[in-house]
């Protein structure tokens, strides 16, 4: 019975321990024995000055494309691998304060704001939910998407006054069937693997399972402020964060941890687990990490705290990881990027963290020594000490530190000689004790324990209590010695400002530029594990000397591979035989390649700089050291930093490539990610903008592209993230792009297909139609050719007929007019001859005179008739303009002889078109007859002539102020009557209209009108 009672109580207390009494998680025993406790990792900070919409970053998210999203007090933004792109809420005036961002399964992005507006954003389209749709005017703290047993999507919304459910386009408040106090503030929502939905709130931890609500029992330490943050880790533990407290729940028992803090209100705002299973806890005053929560014995480590945290971060609100191993922290003072496995720098509150560090050394007691221009700083057993001229040094400028044996520390100064601290006492060596100069540049301990010192005036070594001096008089190439090393064969090497000297068996061998050395000014020398000598020069990189084959090779800015800088201050080697070169542009690492290539000497080069964690890219001479843990230490003009090759995270992951923008004929396309688009033929000028989502050392990203359909092969690698194509021919194209990050991980190709459609005149249907039209045109052309050929022949024949008729007319005119006149002249001549044979008298003389005048008149008529005939048959007068001119000339000459005043009105532009001889002659004769009637019968003294040519008409009118005539008068004058009849006949022949208006005593008006002028144009 006694044994049973004991077993009962043992079991009872064990049950309480596991289930009722929370176990306290322990902080890792940081006894400050390792100096790394006072170093912190590299962060790069982003604020509004770097492109953020605002510097207070509230939340973070990574979308399905891989872009990083941030929410700030004045809008959201995303990083596309190159730039920050600001995204304001649609109703910015009402609320642009983004508190939460959630990426749903279908790529919808949810934005929760501080004044009750919830936004959905997808494919550049916005939708919002506010009080008009059922969501009260509350602060949106969290949004989480789940699916029910029917695989239907349900979105849960945590606000400052309760829980809402968005389902099938409707939003309703959750009906929590358990007692709660108003208001219920829900900070975070998540779902465990057993499909239970958990809500972290100001009233504790609420869970929802199969339609049932209940509060989960949690440690009482959460009672006052509730649960501020929550995370379910990969080990399926539930982690909670409250006010200064962290707790974990494995479904059986709780474990809690309370870190010490000076803040009364120190919320754990965020808990996050990265891909390497490390848990991160963001407080108001620090960041904690837990490397593995699968272990039963859990230890927390400080990641960053104190002044480095408060001055640069303060209040961590969110943590997220982007591929690969790039961790982001959202804080009150901006966004901060951390890349694990990089350099760590000493905290700035310690002098080595901000001073010029000339040398670094670790003693056998694992004490660290940092030589500066202000003395020596020592880290020993977790505490910092300083030594200067006030407490032991002869000069504050410390160049080098070395330990001869345990506890025997030697210090080289710039002017104070060598200061030795041994067994609690100071021993000083200067020129009086045998040093060549009080300016000691470096110290070295050889394999036999001898201390060597270089100075501005030669080298000395300490042996058997005495200093032994070596100068140029002994064969040293120069007295200004800067560095010392020992070869694998026991020989000593000295780097000077005039070359390199090798001292072996009491003899010197000197090497300069003429022997293959890169430069004669050698800052530092180092013997690598394979026995080669490495010489860091002032101005031409580093030279490697193989003592076995006596060959030199040099690495500098122009070699292959190339260094980042030609100034090499120091050289050291890690456990993988990789060489670290301290330069003016960071640290270059030479890594031996397994496949030796004589073109690159069997090495590849990596560069570490400020972006990797260094305080400055500018190193100090010989300020490089490898400690007992294999860490590489360097001193710069702004402090010291170290790199642990054992914790290096080799990034071997290809990064995602994005096409960030697409300009088509200078216009932005909304189809950036839509491959397979069709473009019109005039959209053949295309500009692609692209990026690589490396999120680290973006300036080292490289790209190569190929436009299949234009480029036969991919173009060379380049840093350009834009490619332009102009005047592309119609056809099918595939734009391919490859990306390469700073570690040479190659991504791609990303393919974007598009088609430039041919113009309609290059399409098959247009070609077919054109061919048909061409056949028709050929047919019509042949037909028209035949038609015009026939017409031309007919015109030719018609002209031949006209010519024949004209010849006939001319012969008739000559017969009728000239022949009759000549006959009359013959008759008058015979009569005149008869009269002359008779007896002359005065009356006879008068009669003869009249006959002679009649003969002259006839002769003139013959001349005029001949001129008219010549004019009518001359082809140069075959146009309308010459006809009008000839008519005008006839009118002027005829009326001027009879002293009749004339007024001529003629169209300004008479077309010089060719007309038929019939039209020309008949129109001229109508006009001439009208003038003859005026001269012979009208007794007029004024005549007005109007000639008008327009469109397809020819019109002329002649009006005089003569006596006019009546019908009786016209009948009584046979000659006048015959002239008018001839005029009418000619007008009728020309298809024209002739009108004669005569008023006795008021004159006569003759009008001619021809409206079918084109009929007579040839």
Query: pLDDT by residue (tens digit) across 659-668?
Result: 998 999 877 6
Sign of the torsion angle spanned by Cα atoms 890, 896, 898, 904: positive
Looking at residues 93-107, what average pLDDT do you find?
Answer: 92
For residue 132, give the DSSP letter: G
How far apart CA 188 and CA 140 sit, in angstroms, is 10
Looking at residues 1009-1016, what average pLDDT do you find?
Answer: 87
As a whole number, the mean pLDDT across the chain is 86
pLDDT value for 13:
40
| pLDDT band of 813, cuts 50, 70, 90 | low
Locate tokens 């991919």: which residue? 714
Locate tokens 């339609």: which residue? 211
In the chain, what is the straight-line distance between the N-terminal and C-terminal CA atoms, in Å?
Answer: 147
pLDDT at 123 over 90: no
pLDDT at 158 over 80: yes
Question: Which among 348, 399, 384, 337 is positioned nearest to 638, based on CA atoms?
Answer: 348
Cα→Cα distances 704→439, 562, 715, 723, 739, Å: 54, 21, 6, 10, 7
pLDDT value for 834:
64
Task: List the single range of 545-559, 720-734, 847-861 with lowest mean pLDDT.
Answer: 847-861
| pLDDT band of 595, cuts 50, 70, 90 | low
Looking at residues 280-287, what average pLDDT do you find?
Answer: 88
pLDDT value for 1013:
84
Burial 941-950 (b: 16+ CB within 10 A, else e): eebbbebebe
Locate tokens 């800067």: which residue? 482
| pLDDT band of 16, cuts 50, 70, 90 | very low
pLDDT value for 599:
44
How far apart CA 640 and CA 623 sit, in angstroms, is 9
pLDDT at 2 over 50: no
Question: Which among 57, 59, 174, 51 is positioned nearest to 110, based on CA atoms?
Answer: 59
pLDDT value for 768:
86
pLDDT value for 12:
41
pLDDT value for 515:
96
pLDDT value for 306:
60
pLDDT value for 304:
73
**What digits encode the pLDDT tens for the residues 288-335?**
888 876 554 456 777 776 656 666 777 899 999 997 789 999 999 999
Looking at residues 746-754, what average pLDDT do you find?
Answer: 94
pLDDT value for 917:
80
Residue partners of 884: CB distance under 8 A and separation at least 6: 906, 910, 947, 949
Sign of the torsion angle spanned by Cα atoms 79, 84, 88, 93: positive
pLDDT over 70 for what percent of the chain? 84
pLDDT value for 918:
82
Residue with the bigger pLDDT between 645 and 845: it is 645
**What digits encode the pLDDT tens for the residues 385-437?**
999 999 999 999 999 999 999 999 999 999 999 999 999 999 999 999 999 99
Residue partners of 327: CB distance under 8 A and separation at least 6: 274, 280, 319, 320, 321, 337, 338, 339, 340
Q: What is the DSSP string of 429-465?
A: E-GGGT-S-SBEEEEEE-TTS-EEEEETTEEEEEETT
pLDDT over 90 for what percent of the chain? 53
User: Half-sphere exposure of residue 66, counting CA atoms within 13 Å on the CB side?
Assistant: 18
pLDDT value for 600:
46
**What digits encode the pLDDT tens for the residues 518-531?**
999 999 999 999 99
Task: List the single range of 5-9, 823-827, 890-894 with lowest mean pLDDT.
Answer: 5-9
How far apart CA 779 and CA 777 sit, in angstroms, is 5
pLDDT value for 621:
95
How far apart CA 946 and CA 955 sit, in angstroms, is 8
Task: List the single range of 267-271, 312-316, 560-564, 959-963 with lowest mean pLDDT.
Answer: 312-316
How far apart CA 390 and CA 874 sit, in angstroms, is 132
How far apart CA 474 and CA 755 sit, in angstroms, is 80
pLDDT at 690 over 70: yes
pLDDT at 146 over 60: yes
How far apart CA 786 and CA 885 sit, in angstroms, is 38
pLDDT at 1 over 70: no
Question: Which among 1018, 992, 792 is positioned nearest to 913, based on CA atoms?
Answer: 1018
pLDDT at 350 over 70: no
**What digits encode the pLDDT tens for the residues 187-239?**
999 999 888 999 999 999 999 998 899 999 999 999 889 999 999 999 889 99
User: Half-sphere exposure of residue 5, counting CA atoms within 13 Å on the CB side?
Assistant: 2
pLDDT value for 27:
45
Contact between 638 and 598 under an 8 Å Cβ cutoff? The reply is no
pLDDT at 19 over 70: no
| pLDDT band of 30, cuts 50, 70, 90 | very low
| pLDDT band of 692, cuts 50, 70, 90 | very high
Torsion angles phi and psi, residue 548, rounded to 5: -90, -45
Looking at residues 501-507, what average pLDDT do you find?
Answer: 95
**What digits encode the pLDDT tens for the residues 61-95?**
999 999 999 999 999 999 999 999 999 999 888 88
pLDDT value for 594:
74
pLDDT value for 741:
93
pLDDT at 687 over 70: yes
pLDDT value for 598:
44
pLDDT value for 884:
87
| pLDDT band of 147, cuts 50, 70, 90 | confident
**What digits encode the pLDDT tens for the residues 848-860?**
666 666 666 666 6
Task: List the single range of 101-110, 371-380, 455-464, 998-1007 with lowest mean pLDDT.
Answer: 998-1007
Looking at residues 980-990, what average pLDDT do you find?
Answer: 87
| pLDDT band of 908, cuts 50, 70, 90 | confident
pLDDT at 893 over 70: yes
């Amino acid at each position: 019975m006694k044994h049973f009672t004991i077993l009962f109580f043992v079991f009872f207390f064990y049950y309480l321990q596991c289930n009722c009494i929370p176990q306290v998680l322990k902080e890792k025993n940081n006894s400050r024995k390792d100096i790394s406790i006072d170093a912190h990792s590299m962060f790069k900070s982003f604020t509004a000055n770097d492109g953020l919409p605002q510097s207070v970053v509230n939340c973070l998210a990574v979308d399905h494309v891989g872009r990083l999203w941030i929410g700030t007090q004045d809008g959201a933004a995303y990083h596309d691998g190159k730039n920050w792109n600001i995204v304001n809420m649609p109703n910015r005036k009402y609320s642009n304060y983004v508190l939460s961002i959630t990426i749903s399964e279908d790529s919808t992005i949810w934005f929760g704001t501080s004044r009750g507006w919830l936004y959905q954003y997808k494919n550049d389209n916005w939708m919002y939910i506010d009080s008009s749709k059922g969501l009260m005017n509350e602060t949106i703290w969290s949004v989480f998407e789940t699916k029910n047993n029917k695989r239907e999507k349900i979105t849960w919304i945590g606000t400052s006054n309760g829980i809402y459910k968005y389902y099938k386009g409707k939003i309703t408040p959750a009906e929590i069937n358990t007692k709660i106090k108003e208001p219920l503030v829900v900070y975070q929502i998540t779902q465990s693997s057993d499909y239970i939905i958990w809500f972290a709130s100001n009233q504790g931890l609420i869970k929802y399972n199969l339609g049932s609500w209940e509060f989960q029992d949690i440690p009482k330490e959460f009672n006052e402020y509730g649960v501020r943050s929550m995370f379910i880790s990969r080990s399926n533990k539930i982690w909670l964060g409250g006010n200064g407290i962290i707790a974990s729940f494995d479904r059986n028992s709780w474990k809690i941890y309370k870190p010490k803090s000076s803040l009364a209100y120190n919320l754990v705002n965020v808990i996050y687990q990265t891909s390497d299973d490390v848990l991160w806890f963001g407080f108001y005053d620090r960041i904690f990490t837990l490397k593995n929560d699968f272990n039963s014995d859990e230890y927390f480590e400080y990641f960053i705290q104190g002044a480095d945290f408060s001055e640069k971060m303060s209040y961590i609100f969110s943590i997220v990881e982007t591929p690969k191993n790039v961790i982001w922290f959202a804080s009150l003072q901006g966004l901060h990027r951390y890349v694990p496995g990089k350099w760590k720098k000493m905290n700035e509150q310690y002098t080595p963290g901000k001073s010029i560090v000339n040398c670094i050394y670790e003693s056998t007691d694992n004490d660290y020594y940092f030589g500066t221009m202000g003395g020596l700083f020592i880290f020993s057993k977790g505490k910092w000490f300083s030594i200067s001229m006030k407490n032991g040094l002869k000069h504050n400028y410390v160049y080098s530190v070395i330990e001869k044996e345990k506890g025997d520390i030697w210090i080289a100064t710039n002017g104070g000689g060598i200061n030795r601290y041994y067994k609690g006492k100071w021993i000083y060596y200067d020129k009086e004790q045998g040093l060549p100069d009080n300016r000691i540049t470096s110290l070295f301990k050889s394999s036999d324990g001898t201390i060597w010192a270089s100075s501005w005036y030669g080298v000395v070594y300490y042996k058997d209590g005495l200093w032994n001096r070596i100068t140029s008089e002994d064969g040293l190439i120069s007295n200004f010695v800067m560095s010392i090393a020992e070869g694998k064969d026991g020989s000593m090497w000295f780097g000077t400002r005039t070359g390199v000297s090798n001292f072996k068996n009491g003899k010197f061998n000197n090497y300069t530029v003429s022997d293959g050395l890169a430069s004669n000014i050698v800052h530092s020398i180092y013997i690598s594990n394979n026995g080669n000598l490495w010489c860091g020069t002032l101005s031409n990189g580093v030279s490697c000397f193989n003592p076995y084959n006596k060959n030199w090779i040099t690495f500098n800015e122009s070699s292959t591979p190339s260094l980042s800088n030609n100034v090499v201050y120091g050289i050291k080697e890690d456990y993988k035989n990789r060489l670290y070169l301290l330069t003016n542009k960071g640290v270059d690492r030479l890594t031996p390649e397994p496949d030796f290539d004589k073109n690159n000497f069997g090495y590849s080069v990596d560069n570490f700089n400020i972006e990797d964690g260094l305080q400055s890219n500018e190193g100090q001479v010989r300020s490089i050291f490898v400690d007992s843990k294999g860490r590489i230490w360097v001193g710069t003009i702004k402090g010291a930093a170290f790199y642990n090759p054992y914790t290096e995270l080799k990034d071997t992951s290809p990064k995602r490539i994005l096409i960030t923008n697409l300009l088509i004929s200078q216009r932005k396309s909304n189809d950036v990610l839509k491959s397979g688009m069709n473009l019109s033929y005039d959209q053949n000028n295309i500009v692609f903008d692209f990026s690589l989502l490396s999120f680290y050392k973006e300036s080292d990203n490289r790209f190569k592209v190929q436009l299949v359909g234009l480029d036969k092969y991919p173009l060379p690698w380049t840093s350009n993230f834009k490619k332009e194509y102009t005047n592309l021919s119609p056809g099918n194209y595939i734009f391919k792009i490859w990306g390469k990050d700073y570690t040479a991980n190659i991504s791609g190709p990303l393919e974007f297909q598009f088609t430039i459609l041919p113009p309609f005149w290059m399409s098959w249907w247009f070609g077919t139609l054109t061919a048909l039209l061409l056949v028709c045109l050929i047919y019509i052309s042949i037909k028209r050719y035949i038609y015009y050929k026939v017409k031309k022949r007919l015109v030719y024949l018609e002209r031949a007929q006209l010519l024949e008729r004209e010849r006939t007319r001319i012969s008739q005119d000559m017969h009728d007019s000239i022949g009759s006149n000549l006959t009359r002249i013959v008759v008058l001549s015979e009569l005149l001859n008869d009269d002359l044979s008779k007896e002359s008298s005065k009356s006879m003389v008068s009669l003869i005179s009249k006959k002679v005048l009649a003969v002259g008149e006839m002769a003139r008529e013959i001349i005029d008739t001949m001129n008219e005939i010549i004019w009518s048959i001359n082809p140069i007068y075959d146009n309308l303009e010459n006809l009008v001119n000839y008519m005008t000339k006839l009118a002027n000459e005829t009326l001027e002889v009879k002293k009749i005043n004339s007024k001529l009105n003629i169209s300004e532009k008479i077309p010089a078109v060719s007309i038929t001889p019939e039209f020309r002659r008949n129109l001229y004769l109508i006009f001439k007859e009208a003038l003859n009637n005026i001269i012979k019968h009208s007794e007029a003294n004024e005549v007005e002539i109007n000639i008008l040519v327009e469109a397809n008409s020819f019109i002329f009118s002649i009006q005089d102020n003569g006596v006019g005539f009546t019908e009786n008068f016209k009948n009584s004058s046979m000659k006048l009557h015959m002239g008018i009849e001839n005029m009418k006949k000619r007008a009728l022949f020309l298809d024209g209209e002739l009108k004669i208006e005569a008023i006795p005593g008021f004159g006569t008006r003759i009008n001619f009108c021809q409206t079918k002028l084109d009929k007579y144009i040839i």
